[in-house]
């Protein structure tokens, strides 16, 4: 299945082949042989990246024992794990916290549903389920490396694509998240990279299949993490603009992609409306997230002691009021605090911007490790911005897409709070920009 998927991605990016019309027959044969050899090597690279990256992650997962969780341990997927256990037990998409709390839309549905399938097959909160869930995350992470290879090759050339793919496959930081955290983090990163790849490809050589993949990818991404929809307008607008500029815009195909997106999302919206009696767009908990980052006693970080999983009083309020009413009340509390303390909100927002790009200060790490992580975050942020600047300086049109992604994706976290893993979905694109910068430095001029 993995090989078929890699082959599909490779086919998706394979452009039309060209040959010189005036070349001699011998030269054409030689050129064809060289092109075939180059294409064969390019076809092998994604498979090697996938095999090596997957072996590394499974080996680390097995050796570290990260798949071993206490039975019914909340750290196994947090709210997604609770919802998955409810689905596996036949109680529906409900109960995100301790005990029975009723129907929910606290988190987006895609990852809990996938996790519920794992629970049903391998046992709820079992060690085998932990291993399979983290292996699935690892597969998403390695597919991200394969996508980076194709995206880098498409934008910057074979060498940059190859370096970026191998870097993501082997980078210890990229190995950590999929093998330690049962959450949608790696799935979101993979789908977001795929969406960017499809956006770039549609701007260059639109086909009906690419449009279909584009609509479906956006639908799955919305159901995995709706925060990524902040990139939707630039992505769709880019496709329309580039195709219109080249005179190949096809409104029926564009509408077809939109239909496939809605086909993914609308059933969940209808479920939420039927369940809660009002429109809830994918997930319900924005008001709570806003309150956990903005309120008395807070300095812009996550006030975890007010979360229903850590605060029995808040859990009882949630049970008594119901999810939608509770989240709405919490949102009003946050907005009232922001209105009454605008300067503090601006100061806290500035702190959150810093934490997003330079690392949070509240992960319980020893000081030396915290310092090293801050340095690594700072270097990656500054180098990726330098890579983006180089794209803009060399007039690479796709620089707009990278700029929009880096600008828009973090906005919701600037207003709420920041955790270290929140940056991970856009870190593959940051890595590609860094590799592009370094690869260009090794040439006579920019790529």
The pLDDT tens digits for 62-120 are: 999 988 887 667 889 999 999 999 999 999 999 999 889 999 999 999 999 999 999 99
Q: Write the DSSP string, 83-152.
A: HHHHHHTTS-SB--SSS---B--SS-SHHHHHHHHHHHHH-TT-HHHHHHHHHHHHHHHHHHHHHHHHHH
pLDDT of residue 74: 83
Cα angle 133, 135, 141; round to 5: 110
Check whether 238 has a pLDDT greater than 60.
Answer: yes
Q: What is the mean pLDDT of residues 239-244?
A: 95
Taking the CA of residue 334 as centre, how many other CA atoms within 13 Å lie in the half-sphere pointing to its CB? Answer: 24
Check whether 201 has a pLDDT greater than 80.
Answer: yes
Check whether 241 has a pLDDT greater than 50.
Answer: yes
**Which percentage of the chain shows pLDDT scores above 90?**
80
Q: How confident is the model at residue 362 (pLDDT cuts 50, 70, 90)?
A: low
**Gyration radius of the chain's alpha carbons:** 23
Q: What is the mean pLDDT of residues 167-174?
A: 97
Q: Write the DSSP string, 317-354.
A: HHHHH-HHHHHHHHHHHHHHHHHH-HHHHHHHHHHHHH
pLDDT of residue 287: 97
| Tokens 């009882």 found at | 316
Check whether 336 has a pLDDT greater than 70.
Answer: yes
Q: How confident is the model at residue 22 (pLDDT cuts 50, 70, 90)?
A: very low
Check residue 4 and give left, alpha or beta (phi > 0: left; psi -120 to 50: alpha). alpha
pLDDT of residue 32: 52
CA distance linking residue 282 with residue 107, whole number of Å:
8
- Average pLDDT, whole number, for the chain? 90
Of 409, 404, 290, which Cα lies nearest the Cα of 339?
290
Which comes out higher in pLDDT, residue 159 or 37? 159
> First-to-last CA distance in the chain?
35
CA distance linking residue 186 with residue 141, whole number of Å:
6
Of 219, 223, 210, 222, which Cα lies nearest the Cα of 254?
210
**Phi, psi (degrees; rounded to nearest 5) at 365:** -80, 150
Q: How confident is the model at residue 368 (pLDDT cuts 50, 70, 90)?
A: confident
pLDDT in tens, 286-319: 999 999 999 998 889 999 999 999 999 999 999 9
Model pTM score: 0.91
pLDDT of residue 446: 53
CB of 307 within 8 A of CB of 417? no
pLDDT of residue 372: 85
DSSP annotation of 248: -
pLDDT in tens, 425-437: 999 999 999 999 9
Check whether 371 has a pLDDT greater than 80.
Answer: yes
Q: How confident is the model at residue 23 (pLDDT cuts 50, 70, 90)?
A: very low
Which comes out higher in pLDDT, residue 363 or 152? 152
Contacts of 378 (CB under 8 A, 6+ apart): 357, 358, 359
The residues with which 418 forms a beta bridge, in sequence order, are none
**Phi, psi (degrees; rounded to nearest 5) at 94:** -155, 175
């Amino acid at each position: 299945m993995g090989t078929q998927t890699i082959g599909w991605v490779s086919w998706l990016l394979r452009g039309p082949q060209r040959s010189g019309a005036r070349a001699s027959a011998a030269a054409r044969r030689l050129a064809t042989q060289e092109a075939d050899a180059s294409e064969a090597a390019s076809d092998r690279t994604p498979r090697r990246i996938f095999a090596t990256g997957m072996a590394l992650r499974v080996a680390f997962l097995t050796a570290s024992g990260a798949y071993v969780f206490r039975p019914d341990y909340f750290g196994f997927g947090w709210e997604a794990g609770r919802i998955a256990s409810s689905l596996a037990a036949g109680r529906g998409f409900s109960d995100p916290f301790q005990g029975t709390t009723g129907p929910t839309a606290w988190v987006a549905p895609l990852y809990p549903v996938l996790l519920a399938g794992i629970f049903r097959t391998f046992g709820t909160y079992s060690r085998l389920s932990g291993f399979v869930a983290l292996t699935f995350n690892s597969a998403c992470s390695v597919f991200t490396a394969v996508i980076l290879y194709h995206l880098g090759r498409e934008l910057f050339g074979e060498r940059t694509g190859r370096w970026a793919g191998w870097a993501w496959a082997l980078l210890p930081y990229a190995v950590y998240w999929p093998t330690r955290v049962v959450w949608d983090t790696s799935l979101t990163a993979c789908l977001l990279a795929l969406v960017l790849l499809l956006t770039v490809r549609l701007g260059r050589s639109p086909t009906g299949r690419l449009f279909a993949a584009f609509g479906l990818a956006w639908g799955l991404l919305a159901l995995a993490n709706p925060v990524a929809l902040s990139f939707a307008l630039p992505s769709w607008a880019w496709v329309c603009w580039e195709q219109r500029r080249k005179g190949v815009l096809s409104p029926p195909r564009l509408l077809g992609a939109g239909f496939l997106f809605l086909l993914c999302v609308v059933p969940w919206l209808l479920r939420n409306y039927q369940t809660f009696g009002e429109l809830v767009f994918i997930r319900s908990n924005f008001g709570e997230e806003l309150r956990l980052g903005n309120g008395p006693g807070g300095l812009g970080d996550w006030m975890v002691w007010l979360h229903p999983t850590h605060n029995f009083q808040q859990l009882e309020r949630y049970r008594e009021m119901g999810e939608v009413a509770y989240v709405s009340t919490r949102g009003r509390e946050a907005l009232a605090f922001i209105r009454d303390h605008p300067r503090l909100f601006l100061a806290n927002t500035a702190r959150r911007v810093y934490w997003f790009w330079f690392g949070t200060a509240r992960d319980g790490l020893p000081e030396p490790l915290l310092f090293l992580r801050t340095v690594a975050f700072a270097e990656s942020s500054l180098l990726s911005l330098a890579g983006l600047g180089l794209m803009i300086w060399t007039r690479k049109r796709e620089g707009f897409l990278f700029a929009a992604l880096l600008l828009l994706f973090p906005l919701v976290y600037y207003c709420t709070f920041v955790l270290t893993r929140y940056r991970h979905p856009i870190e593959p694109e940051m890595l590609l920009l860094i590799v592009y910068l370094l690869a260009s430095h090794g040439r006579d001029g920019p790529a």
